[in-house]
Amino acid sequence: MLVKIPSVLTKEQVKEIKSIMLDADWTDGNVTAGYQSSQAKNNLQLPENSEAAHKLGDMILLALSRNNQFMSAALPNKIFPPLFNCYQGGHSFGTHVDNAVRQVPGTPVKVRTDLSMTLFISEPEEYEGGELIIEDTYGSQSVKFSAGDMVLYPSTSLHRVTPVTKGRRLASFFWLQSMIASDERRSILYNMDMAIQGLREKVQDSPEIVKLTGVYHNLLRQWAQT
């Protein structure tokens, strides 16, 4: 399931984050790549333990905690701290699949990567190329969203970033472990939750909506791993 989460960040937040990123010191993006990814990865990255990365990551996690669509689609259990990258001057990332498990630096915490996320910081017109290409059930999906928007997709997906031939592509990327490991089950719960919310916008609560809500929570209770 590939989900667009619009307006995770306000335009003011995007402006602040972009300013901090542009003033920060960058390093080779391969510092967080596994062996397979390192053969395809060519970009810059903010050091994971830098003050800038921690500050920006906290801003993003707070914004996500207030985003109902994200919570419904992801059903997060553990979230890997957000990372930040920059593509420019021909940088690209060849086809790869994300590591199955990530250890949070400096801690014993391990995160199973059920879902991958890219939060766009640069506007699409600020750079050429740089599309995130995700292979899913329905073929290749090309993603290049507005600044502040995020894409959420299964970490099992093959994906790549096309070369940035002009301008600069700034983004945050990270992963999460969901309470629902199965993408199929997450999709069922997400679609059901969106349908229930849609019904509530059209009509007042009814016995039928209450029953559907009960079915949703009973499925979540049955499938959740916490």
Per-residue pLDDT tens over the stretch 103-146: 999 999 999 999 999 999 999 999 999 999 999 877 899 999 99
Query: Which residue among 160, 178, 196 closes a domain?
Result: 178
Task: Tell me 25's DSSP state.
Answer: -
Are the CB atoms for 69 and 8 separated by under 8 Å? no
Closest CA to 136 of 118, 158, 164, 117: 158
Are the CB atoms for 151 and 4 separated by under 8 Å? yes
State which residues form the domain around 198: 183-223
Task: Tell me 94's DSSP state.
Answer: E
Query: Which pTM was predicted?
Result: 0.92
Query: How confident is the model at residue 41, as a pLDDT?
Result: 72
Residues 191 and 158 in one domain: no
Type of residue numbered 74? A
Query: How confident is the model at residue 36, as a pLDDT?
Result: 52
Query: Which residue among 145, 161, 178 closes a domain?
Result: 178
Query: How confident is the model at residue 144, as a pLDDT?
Result: 98
Query: How confident is the model at residue 139, as a pLDDT?
Result: 86
> For the segment 149-179, what is each residue's pLDDT rounded down to a tens digit?
999 999 999 999 999 999 999 999 999 999 9
Residues 9 and 119 in one domain: yes
Query: How confident is the model at residue 34, as a pLDDT?
Result: 53
Average pLDDT over residues 56-68: 97
Residues 199 and 135 in one domain: no
Are the CB atoms for 78 and 109 separated by under 8 Å? yes
Query: How confident is the model at residue 31, as a pLDDT?
Result: 62
Number of domains within the chain: 2
Report the CATH number that the domain containing residue 206 is assigned in CATH. 4.10.860
